[in-house]
Structure 1
Amino acid sequence: MLPYFHLLLVSSIFTFASSSSSSPPQPSPTKNLTLLGSAHFKNNSIILTQELTTCNSRSNSPVGRVLHSFPVRFLRSSSNSTVSFSTRFTFTIVPPSPPCLAGDGIAFLIASDPSSLPHTDGYLGLPDSPASHPFFAIEFDTTFNPGLGDINDNHVGVDVDSIISVASIDLMSEGIDLKSGKRITVWIEYRDPEKIIRVWVGYTDTKPEYSVLAVPIDLSKTLKEFMYVGFSASNGRGSSIHSIQKLQIHTFESLTPNTQMETVSSRNCLMCYPDDPSIEEAEISLYNDHHKDNRVLELAFGLLSITFLLIMVATISVLYCMCLTKRQAIKQRCNENAQMYRFQEAGVPKKLKLSEIRSATKEFDQNRIIGEGASSKVYEANLPSCGNVAVKRFSKVNQPSTLGNQFATELATMVGCLRHKNLVQLQGWCCEANELVLVYEYMPNGSLDKLLHRRTNATRTLTFEKRLNILLGVSSALVYLHEECERQIIHRDVKTCNIMLDADFNAKLGDFGLAEVYEHSERGRDATLPAGTMGYLAPEYVYSGIPTVKTDVYSFGVVVLEVASGQRPVNEDGVVVTEWVWDLWEKRILFAAADPNLMGRFDKVDMERMLMAGLICVHPNSQRRPTMKEAGRMLRGGLVPDLPVKKPTVMIQSVMPERTTEMVARMCGEDADTPWSTPRTHFSSKAG
């Protein structure tokens, strides 16, 4: 969806009047920029501050700013709620030669009253005391002032109504030196539905995969209906050249989770530098033509209206013919294959041609593999009819020879039930030329397993709030499978490898290769070989071979403990996470299980509740485990039942036939390739 931009023209000429300003606003070579203080244009750049002739002279260090000439609407006209916004800009900070100190740095700024901001004395041009007028800023600070809570002289921080940052991060740890003199590109995005601000920083024009800073914040309490947007810089007691080479700012009134906020065209840009000359020339030409010959313009509009009407009539006629032809073709296909017609009418994803899949995967190119298991391989592909997808190709030895009516009916019944926002959706399928292929939606952020256990910047993006939201999404999916489907479905392989994350880190449960469908009225179930992954299997399921909803609850509990602690179900030393957390509970130090990568950025009560909910879900006695609906209620802040002082011991007697028990015992031995251990298949990108 294209962004909806608001631009209010409050007067034909707008200036910022202030008796203390060091210089009047300068005319801008672009349409909507106003320069203040020491800011000026030079060599296709906006120079905010320049190197001073005398170091350590605050009286000669005015602030430089560039602002949008008119106030910008930050409240939606329809709902009176805050809009989302994004900016991308390239800047350079050239420090002075020793012994002079570097300047203060540069800041992206949103202010309600520019005249209330200081004009000298540094602090990046931001107020050095609690502001009487609200403002929001992302600072790129090159001075170290402990009194202001600075972490060092090379950091990015988030400021709300104060220059004391609410959050900051050392950019040197990300390989970025603000005072290197290199061009630095910054992307800033605020998504109001998520109430989170994200910042990316890099030396190239390619947006990094992971943000350096992601801060939960509600700007609706700071942003007024109209605010001024721009950039500010100062030298303080130092002397640096702060310059901006490119800038783009957009606002978004309507924003979907998949909307890409990157700005690439100055046509849709609220505040841009440099402008697109062709656009400006076209606008000037249109303006002159209007004043030269008003009648000619009216005639042109009349002809344009007639032409538009004719095009509309022709388009409607073509669409009608196309729809009629398509309906006849569908009717003919349905008459030829009534079973396939019922299959399509049931809402099952469409059948795809093998040639289309082969073309999209480049003949199943090995370089496109993003997941691989014992029975299948997963390829990244782009299908014209489905977009970016994950193609799961089953090994030929594990395929049925034909796709019979019974298989089609069962597939339609199962897939028709799996329609939930927290389940990976099947887009299409193919059974042709001895090939069996399933096509799933593509998950940009990959699996939770990769993101949780990858010790990089990606791990830091998994804040406590995101982890909790992921767990709530998985619990919602399992409630749907257990209680809300026409037929009850037991997943049997709930684990972080099978929890996929979309672009906004929403969880989607996938890989139903081991799932079993049951009638709700069904009383007895036959014992089978246990299926799943060691570390996630409930003890009674390992011994009995009978899956129940409580075996899924146990697996979910392991996932909860894994997400809260950052520990794998079974680590390299053989330590089982459930045993480890039970031991901490017995020692009354449960809080010690919290993932150190969270750096304590969570509420202690919420963390302990999450760990306790995980423990009650992995209770050795399946009867003591909650339902998935109760587990989700606990994670949302509900009461967690009392846990035993020590981990209880529950004796489980196998009800499987003796031959089957021997098979399980044999597979638990030296044979690593057990058929009941699900392969780690990821419908995700290869990144990480």
Structure 2
Amino acid sequence: MNHHHHSLPCLFLFYLILFISQDFPTLSHRFSPPLHNLTLYGDAYFRDRTISLTRQQPCFPSATTPPSNPSSSGIGRALYVYPIKFSEPSTNTTASFSCRFSFSIIASPSCPFGDGFAFLITSNADSFVFSNGFLGLPNPHDSFIAVEFDTRFDPGHGDINDNHVGIDVNSVFSVSSVDALSKGFDLKSGREMMAWIEYSDVLKLIRVWVGYSRVKPTSPILATQIDLSGKVKEYMHVGFSASNAAASVGGSALHIVERWKFTTFASHSDAIQEEDSEEEEEEVSRNPIRPKGFGFRVSVVGFKIPFWSLLPGLAAIVVLVGFIVFSLIVGKKKITEEGADTGLTRMPGRLSLAEIKSATLGFNENTIVGQGASATVYRGSIPSIGSVAVKRFDREHWPQCNRNPFTTEFTTMTGYLRHKNLVQFQGWCSEGTETALVFEYLPNGSLSEFLHKKPSSDPSEEFIVLSWKQRVNIILGVASALTYLHEECERQIIHRDVKTCNIMLDSEFNAKLGDFGLAEIYEHNALLSGRAATLPAGTMGYLAPEYVYTGVPSEKTDVYSFGVVVLEVCTGRMAVGNDGTGLVDFMWNLWETGKFLTGADIMLKEDFDAEEMERVLMVGMVCTHADCEKRPKVKEAVRIIRGEAPLPVLPAKKPLLRIRSAIEAEEMIADDLVGEDLPWMTPKSNFS
């Protein structure tokens, strides 16, 4: 999406306010909060350009040996000085919020770790549970939400271990938690880490990400469905809380927070802006003690102002209004043109569960058109949209796949995808225990059905064989979609599950790539070294060998899957045959024996251009090359298919797999926060 049309009026308004403030100094003043916009409690103290929530203290193994500093509570808290609005009673709406911060936990020498710390939202800034640590959380009768980074195992509080991340709501017992070590992060390592916390009131969902670098990981380590409506007061305090262990068990650590940004959003917009604008970063670099979220305020101080002195400002306002109107007209026209070009005809919106059930006849089994591991697809009709495919998610499967496929696909589809060769997203539903995504209905189903369906003995049943021309057009359509995902959309998207059953065909047999439940999103300049290794996801037969080995997805892993699809379309064979033979191995055997063209689908009855068939088959082979560096980009493969580039050079024998060395693999995670000199960031609220 092009943001320039919206940013220009805002930039113009910014300079207008500057103009007014300079010409009429009695009408405006700059709001300059104190250097530290935080209130510290207990043991918390400013430590250079950071805040330590606790203090190191001598270990005392039992209650009979008192601490050397009896005035120390072992508990510290740092809260933003002003309360933030979280709910609007008149409209019964709740704010969404986004938070990110860097932290480290450093143990005292020869001492066990303390309890840990928590990001805290509380209705009572002065409420503590002083008696037994509890991360310094409020009393149970107060409203609070906390994301805890716990370093002490206390089975009495339901802890899963001494190195976990949990979400607490009005209780020290976590509603959901995850083992940090199992996700590749050690809270006790002493390293500086980044955390991102987001709550969407639309989805009723809290998500937590943790990483060793500034680049936000694509997948959260913890995602939990929670409705905060009624659990937050109108105004809440935000900040951090920590504690060293209770006196009976000892423990000492510094819980340090260095950088922090917090923002609330109106529920109806539910938008999360993850990165700061260049203008904002530049302003902070010029004035590092001025927190973000505060700007100029214009106020009338109560005395009369000569009318002639207002003329320059009024003229500027007239120009501004005209400029905004012009920008909106041009922007709307451009968006309309872009929508027509990419095939997007309507903006997706939230649908009620009643609408979804009505469309699918109450999720009637007779309307099922597809079944997957985590979702069932129903055909239906919604009056405001037309024929739709409703993807209903099975929550019971989510723990098994270690992710929330609804959230992954929803985030991907709503945030970035606008292309004619992608299945068009029409809306979503998240109500109670039901979650569903709504897509355009494509009458010809999946490509897999046409390639692998066998003729029926019933003469009345129609059997369609895709022509060679249709197959080439399908391959080019999938290639166009992948080129868009990899190089042209706002962020690079790795699909991770490109296969023929995820390629849908419209009424004219044009290809549309769908199912983004496994997709990963990266910044275009993100290096592979910043991508976390995970268990490989996808379908056997389509997985690139280096991805199976390292668990790190890339553009080239999608290219491999695309190559398998190309071979599948040309040969009519499945990626893995019933006898367990892989299609790639089968084609390499034909290549080595000089019988390459005999692999063409017999259903085509040789009704194809042999030279073009050979060219497309060779593209499939080079895209599935064992060495990922030898694979072309998808757009380069398209040039070969169209005869605009020379044929690829294939080795006489199937190439062997080349894997990175162990040293290279160990260097794939880098901590690029070292040496940063960022200012304190303070809360900002757009919720009212």
TM-score band (shorter)? 0.3 to 0.5
Q: When the two structures are superposed, what TM-score results if normalisation uses the length of structure 2? A: 0.46
| TM-score using structure 1 length | 0.46
Larger radius of gyration: 1
RCO (CA 8 Å, sep 6+): is it higher in 1 or 2? 2
